[in-house]
Amino acid sequence: MQLKTSLFVLCLGLLAPNLFHSAAYATPWADAEDTKLRHHLQILADAGLIQFSSTTYPLLWGAFLENLSQTDPRQLEPRSQEAYHYVMAVLDFHQSGGYTGGRISGQSELGAERGFGQDLAEKAALTLTRDFKSDHSAFRLQTSFRRSREALPGRARDPESISFVGSYAATIVSHDVLGSWVLSADQLTTWWSPSYENDGMHTRSEQPLQALRLTRAGAAPFDVAGLRWFGPWSATAYVGRSARSLGIDGNQGMFRNGVLSNGSQRTALGTNTEMTSVDSESFRREEAFGARLTVNPLPYIELGARFTGAHLERTQKNAALDARVTVFSGPAASLSVYGEVISHRSDLDETFHTIGADVQFSSGLFSWFSGQPQSAARVFVERLEHVDREGMAIGFWQFTPAGYGLDVRVREYERNAWAGVRIPQRDYHRRQQFDLSVYIPLSNSRVVTGVNYWRDTPNQSGLTNQGQRDNTFNIFLDWEVRW
């Protein structure tokens, strides 16, 4: 199915004057790659203080303001009070007239698995940002100059040296019945899942899509009597395409209709059929669409549903239901469980899942040098079985009000043997990886530095890239300043 993006834009232009009147104040987006922000938002959600989707990014500040407008931080327990003050400080910064930012990042090796907030994908990059807004609209131009970029595992590599990921133009429009919605043209990182490892998008494009997006600006419950039990709700939908033409060349090894594209034999699956390479007509832009709805029927429960589709060589359709439930929340700690069930409707009509749990508590790990005796910490354990991989991830996050932080993750994954039906075949079938990220405040800037170490078990004979190293050690540095 081909998506006619230009027709969609034309229809929006014709319908908007009739559906909406009086544009209102446009609230900026929260950063979609900010691990520290998600950590603190989740603390507030698990404490029952905010009822809106804390698992859907990009996230609008409007819903947050609706939820916390009547909150007195003096009445909160220490972890929630710390989270409240941090999120409000970030909001105050974004509610100003705009900002200018610069970011320099680099790493010694490419190829690490990445989860939420882990966005370094090139040997070196320089990113310049200019964010500004008017009474009715918000804009951000973010330009990255990149060197030696690597794709996410299972995604198609983007060789271009210049990227505009993080840019958007948005305006908020209001209607007496339909409420307030944000209409945007953007290229923003999108995360539609309670998972810390799976973004829920199921696209082949390594970069975020260039998209037209419609997002509910607030989170107020339905006014209709029969729907009020849903509680606060949020909704978002997009239609878009990849920034570059994608395709799988003969060297990447792609299973197409059950065969490898690089001319080798399918020894891993027990067949000996000779293959042919993909011709140039397979290189094209990926077109995709999706919608997500979340409801919060009770303060400690979030339920979500999403549907996504992507077309490159064929149309991949995916439907998923997800939930996050806080089982216990108290002054000392809180426990939450989450999961999702994913149905892939394509060449493989299969069902997959994610299941996980996280615990929040106060820790004195940074007390010896940060000056704060306790700060909020989180441990999560996650098991996933997806179309491209299955395995487990364990993580530890802690961030102090002074700006120090620690992000530790351990993963072990196995590639599914038939995953190449939809993604490039990797040259290993098992990976064990350790990540350590340290956050350091530096004047009005932030430094993140750390290491990745991973060990790969190569594929069987016939699918092995002989140049692949079993053990890889990566050092990275990321410095960002905003003013």
Return the domain boundaries, the chain: 22-247+283-482
Segment among 98-107, 193-202, 307-316, 412-421 with least mean pLDDT = 412-421
Give me the mean pLDDT over the 423-449 stretch: 85
Is the predicted pLDDT of residue 450 greater than 90, yes or no? yes
149 Cβ partners below 8 Å, 6+ apart?
A: 110, 121, 122, 123, 157, 158, 159, 160, 161
Residues forming a β-bridge with 226: none
Residue 311 is predicted with a pLDDT of 82
Give me the mean pLDDT over the 156-179 stretch: 82
Find, among 141, 180, 238, 237, the residue nearest to 26 by Cα.
180
Is residue 298 within 8 A of residue 313, CB to CB? The reply is no
pLDDT digits (tens, 9 = 90+) for 385-406: 987 789 999 999 999 988 899 9
Residue 426 is predicted with a pLDDT of 58
Secondary structure (H, E, C), the chain: CCCCHHHHHHHHHHHHHHHCEEEECCCCEECCCCHHHHHHHHHHHHCCCCCCCCCEECEEHHHHHHHHCCCCHHHCCHHHHHHHHHHHHHHHHHCCCEEEEEEEEEECCCCCCCCCCCCCCEEEEEEEEEEEECCCEEEEEEEEEEEEECCCCCCECCCCCEECCCCEEEEEEEECCCEEEEEEEECCCCEECCCCCCCCCCCCECCCCEEEEEEECCCCCCCCHHHHHHCCEEEEEEEEEEEEEECCCCCCCEEECCEECCCCCCHHHCCCCCCCCCCHHHCEEEEEEEEEEEEEEECCEEEEEEEEEEECCCEEEEEEEEEEEEEEECCCEEEEEEEEEEEEECCCCEEEEEEEEEEEEEECCCHHHHCCCCEEEEEEEEEEECCCEEEEEEEEEEECCCCCEEEEEEEEEEECCCHHHCCECCCEEEEEEEEEEEEEEECCEEEEEEEEEEEEEECCCCCCCCCCCCEEEEEEEEEEEEC
Is the predicted pLDDT of residue 289 greater than 90, yes or no? yes
72 Cβ partners below 8 Å, 6+ apart?
A: none
Q: Compute the C-alpha angle 471/475/480, nearest 5°.
A: 150
Segment among 8-17, 176-185, 410-419 with least mean pLDDT = 8-17
Average pLDDT score, the chain: 80
108 Cβ partners below 8 Å, 6+ apart?
A: 123, 473, 474, 475, 476
Is residue 189 within 8 A of residue 142, CB to CB? The reply is no
Residue 121 is predicted with a pLDDT of 84
Residue 33 is predicted with a pLDDT of 85
Is the predicted pLDDT of residue 203 greater than 50, yes or no? yes
CA 340 to chain centre: 15
Sign for the pseudo-dihedral over CA of 227, 230, 233, 236: negative
Is the predicted pLDDT of residue 86 greater than 60, yes or no? yes
Find, among 397, 389, 377, 385, the residue nearest to 419 by Cα.
389
Give me the mean pLDDT over the 155-168 stretch: 77
pTM metric for this prediction = 0.83
Distance, CA of 257 to CA of 259 (rounded, Å): 6
CA 144 to chain centre: 19
Between β-strands 350-363 and 375-385, what pairing exists: parallel, antiparallel or unpaired? antiparallel
Task: Count CB neighbours of 126 within 10 A.
Answer: 14
Structure tokens that stand for 82 in this block? 């710390």
**How confident is residue 14, by pLDDT bands cut at 50, 70 and 90?**
very low
Residue 447 is predicted with a pLDDT of 96
Q: Compute the C-alpha angle 103/104/109, nearest 5°.
A: 135
Task: Output 79 or 422, whichever has higher pLDDT.
Answer: 79
Residue 462 is predicted with a pLDDT of 46
Is the predicted pLDDT of residue 18 greater than 80, yes or no? no
pLDDT above 90 as % of the chain: 44
pLDDT digits (tens, 9 = 90+) for 326-354: 999 988 899 999 999 998 776 556 788 99
Task: Output 454 or 69, whichever has higher pLDDT.
Answer: 454
Residue 30 is predicted with a pLDDT of 80
Distance, CA of 314 to CA of 345 (rounded, Å): 11
pLDDT digits (tens, 9 = 90+) for 37-57: 999 999 999 998 988 888 999
Burial class (CB in 10 A: 0-12, 13-18, 19+), 56: buried
The Cα-based distances of 330 to 46, 77, 80, 169, 327 in angstroms read: 10, 9, 10, 41, 10
Sign for the pseudo-dihedral over CA of 32, 376, 436, 444: positive
**How confident is residue 254, by pLDDT bands cut at 50, 70 and 90?**
very low
Residue 322 is predicted with a pLDDT of 97
Is the predicted pLDDT of residue 257 greater than 70, yes or no? no
Residue 151 is predicted with a pLDDT of 58
Q: Which fold has domain 22-247+283-482?
A: Porin (2.40.160)
Residue 204 is predicted with a pLDDT of 77
